Amino acid sequence: MLPKKLVCEAIGTFFLVLTIGCTVLGDGKGVIPPLAIGSALMVMVYAGGHLSGGHYNPAVTLALTVRGRHPKAEVVPYWVAQVIGAVAAAAVAVFLRKQGAAEPPADIAKAALAEFLFTFALAYVVLNAATAKGTAGNSFYGLAIGFTVLTGAFAVGDISGGAFNPAVAIGAGVMGAINLSSIYIHIVADLLGGLAAGAVFKFLNPEDK
């Protein structure tokens, strides 16, 4: 079962990052990239949620593990599958479009805070919309998750690059949509955001095991 989950995670992350690459490395302007990226995440969550959980994000995997809804032994395999999908998508995006040349963020502290907050928001929405007892069996979870990324991209995309996902950040770095020298900001801040979301969910919902 784990190999199937990993293939699903790699596929979902691939199409999420491919969408990012093809829109951002295209004209990269206006409302199209955030709309396309949020929509891509939404449809991939619906497509793979029943099989792998539809994480496509190491920070979400970490949040679900802290919350107690993901096996600890599967964390690293999930991360590896997500990064493989992201890097493969980056290579395809560069082939289809061009190699980007992003500059580092103007303010590291602001970029780190933006990434932390909206990764927290994303993981918090995932936990509440897709795993809580009070929302069990709903059909809106994918829409809620995709729109959280859409919201974050509009709100702080110009500050941090709007990854909210370490695998996305790595893929974006490979394709030049995020400067490679600043990847550490996304990896650290995003994982901390996922960790915090898992801890907050457990605090707010101690009875929801």
Residue 44's nearest CA partner among 200, 165, 190, 158 is 165
CATH architecture of 2-204: Up-down Bundle (1.20)
Tokens of 80: 């590896």
User: Number of C-alpha atoms within 13 angstroms, CB side, residue 165?
Assistant: 32
pLDDT at 49: 96
Q: What would the pLDDT profile of 27-50 be if each residue is shown by its tens digit?
A: 767 788 999 999 999 999 999 999
Helix/strand/coil percent split, the chain, to 5: 75, 0, 25
Instruction: Please state, in angstroms and rounded to a whole number, the distance separating the CA atoms of residues 24 and 9.
Output: 22
Q: Give yes or no for residue 209 having a pLDDT over 90.
A: no
Instruction: Please compute the mean of the pLDDT values over residues 109-116 and round it to a whole number.
Output: 98
Q: What would the pLDDT profile of 118-151 be if each residue is shown by its tens digit?
A: 999 999 999 999 999 999 999 999 999 999 999 9
Q: What is the pTM of this model?
A: 0.96
pLDDT at 31: 84
Q: Give yes or no for residue 170 having a pLDDT over 90.
A: yes
Whether 25 and 97 have beta carbons less than 8 Å apart is answered as yes
pLDDT at 41: 98
Q: Give yes or no for residue 186 having a pLDDT over 80.
A: yes
Residue 113's nearest CA partner among 68, 166, 156 is 156
pLDDT at 73: 98
Instruction: Please state, in angstroms and rounded to a whole number, the distance separating the CA atoms of residues 177 and 165.
Output: 14
DSSP class per residue in 169-188: HHHHHHHTSS-GGGHHHHHH
Q: What would the pLDDT profile of 56-90 be if each residue is shown by its tens digit?
A: 999 999 999 999 999 999 999 999 999 999 999 99
Q: What would the pLDDT profile of 2-33 be if each residue is shown by its tens digit?
A: 999 999 999 999 999 999 999 999 876 778 89
Express as a percent the part of the chain with pLDDT over 90. 96
**Which phi and psi (to 5°) does residue 59 adopt?**
-70, -40
Long-range contacts at 74-79 (CB < 8 A, ≥ 24 apart): 74/2, 74/5, 77/2, 77/6, 78/5, 78/6, 78/9, 78/52, 79/166, 79/167
Parse the chain into domains and list their residue ranges: 2-204
